């Protein structure tokens, strides 16, 4: 019982993810405020996670899923730090 996803499906999926990546790059360059750029960087992280999963299905290997976890954690920490910086202008609270 061996499930095989056709190579064509994985290639089409990678092309769609690349198109989504280009849209995020557009918003990151054009975006009027800093919050737009923060959102688009978060979405770029999610798209890269999806692309790594699809590519590892393509080459039949599970080596790269640690990279997916690390990208998820770093994306969340980066988004939180940028939000805190926009909110108060300071990342770490010094008083109290």
Partner 1 sequence: MTTINSILLSVMVLGGSLFALMATIGLVRFPDVYCRMHSTAKASTMSIFLIMLAAFFFFLADGHGVNSRCLLVIVFVFLTSPVGAHMISKAAYHYEVEMWIGTTYDELSAYNAALDSFSVEDDSDDEAIKNESFSVEFE
Total site size for partner 1, rule CB under 8 A: 53
Residues 78 and 44 sit within 8 Å (Cβ to Cβ)? no
Instruction: Pick one of 72, 74, 90, 91: the residue that binds partner 1 (CB under 8 A).
Output: 72
Structure tokens belonging to residue 56: 């590892």
Is residue 74 close enough to count as binding partner 1 by CB under 8 A?
A: no
Q: Which of residues 3-62 bind partner 1 (CB under 8 A)?
A: 3-6, 9-10, 12-14, 16-17, 19-21, 23-24, 26-27, 33-36, 38-40, 42-43, 46-47, 49-50, 53-54, 56-57, 60, 62
Distances (CA, A) of 6 to 9, 57, 59: 6, 10, 12
For residue 68, state whether it binds partner 1 (rule: CB under 8 A).
yes
Tokens of 63: 């080596």
Provide the minimum distance between the beta carbon of 92 and partner 1 in the complex, in angstroms, as a whole number. Answer: 15
| Cβ contact 45:71 at 8 Å | yes
């Amino acid at each position: 019982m061996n499930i095989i996803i056709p190579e064509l499906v994985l290639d089409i999926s990678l092309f769609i993810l690349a198109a989504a990546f280009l849209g995020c790059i557009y918003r990151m360059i054009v975006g009027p405020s800093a919050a737009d750029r923060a959102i688009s960087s978060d979405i770029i992280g999610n798209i890269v996670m999806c692309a790594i999963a699809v590519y590892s299905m393509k080459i039949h290997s599970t080596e790269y899923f640690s990279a997916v976890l690390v990208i998820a954690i770093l994306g969340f920490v980066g988004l939180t730090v940028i939000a805190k910086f926009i909110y108060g202008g300071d990342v770490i609270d010094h008083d109290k």
